[in-house]
A and B are shown apart, each in its own frame.
Chain A
Amino acid sequence: AQTVTQSQPEMSVQEAETVTLSCTYDTSESDYYLFWYKQPPSRQMILVIRQEAYKQQNATENRFSVNFQKAAKSFSLKISDSQLGDAAMYFCAYRSPGFGNEKLTFGTGTRLTIIP
């Protein structure tokens, strides 16, 4: 079974600075998908970024980018120019490909605080 580990329960960053959230995973599959979800105080689960394992290029979405290291099974999220609205719980998640259970396996989350 796949597992996802987020080793930083809490992180903080000064507004406008850059922060990196760590995520590692364990799998025997060669093809899979990785996600970062943001959960603000409203509790809504918001997709931040998605990475396909067969793609070498790291995904980016505006101020959000990932460092995907397939051999090391690492998938970190970098937030540039941090804003107050980035304060949230961030979850890393893994998903197997195909037509089976579309289950997301989540990490335990990292709570990000933005310091004004």
Chain B
Amino acid sequence: EAQVTQNPRYLITVTGKKLTVTCSQNMNHEYMSWYRQDPGLGLRQIYYSMNVEVTDKGDVPEGYKVSRKEKRNFPLILESPSPNQTSLYFCASGPRGSNEKLFFGSGTQLSVL
């Protein structure tokens, strides 16, 4: 089954404790991206990657890191989480240039205390 898998679905942590949210897709997509969803703000792009070893900032990259060492994986790293990073996070993937839909993961609800 074609899917984007995110883990974990829920995460509660404390300020300053490094964490990684994993994202993996099995559709051989070149393009992958991370979004955060906040009430009243919709979804905003954090980082994106157009291929292996190619990443770039989205609209709200501060406080986040990503890597793309393999085509299928695109982890989101919070090296020193803060309470303002409490949010719902989505990973998405798609074939480049197809202009078809993006495939979304099922989301990770992060709470930073």
Chain B residues within an 8 Å CB radius of A52: 99
Check A43 against B42 for contact (C-beta < 8 Å): no
A12-20, A56-64, A78-86, A104-112 - interface stretch: A104-112
Of A47, A91, A102, the contact of B48 (CB 8 Å cutoff): A102
Q: Does more than half of chain A's interface fall in helix, strand or loop, or is it mixed?
A: loop
User: Interface size of A by Cβ–Cβ distance < 8 Å?
Assistant: 25
A46: nearest chain-B partner, CB-CB: B104
Q: How far is the CA of A6 from the CA of B42 in the complex (A)?
A: 10
Given A42-B106, A43-B88, A108-B42, residue A99 in contact with residue B96 (CB < 8 A): yes
Q: How far is the CA of A43 from the CA of B58 in the complex (A)?
A: 22
Q: How many A-B residue contacts, CB cutoff 8 Å?
A: 58
Q: How far is the CA of A103 from the CA of B59 in the complex (A)?
A: 10
Q: Does more than half of chain B's interface fall in helix, strand or loop, or is it mixed?
A: strand
Interface membership of B73, Cβ < 8 A: no
Check A104 against B102 for contact (C-beta < 8 Å): yes
User: Interface size of B by Cβ–Cβ distance < 8 Å?
Assistant: 27
CB distance from B89 to the nearest CB of A (A): 11
Given A107-B42, A108-B40, residue A47 in contact with residue B101 (CB < 8 A): yes
Near A by CB (< 8 A), chain B positions 84-113 give 88, 90, 92, 94, 96-97, 99-102, 104, 106-107, 109
Name B's A-contacting residues (CB within 8 A): 31, 33, 35, 40-45, 48, 50, 56, 58, 88, 90, 92, 94, 96-97, 99-102, 104, 106-107, 109
Q: Can you list 8 A-B pairs with a CB-CB distance of less than 8 A?
A: A35-B101, A45-B92, A101-B48, A102-B33, A103-B33, A103-B48, A106-B35, A107-B42
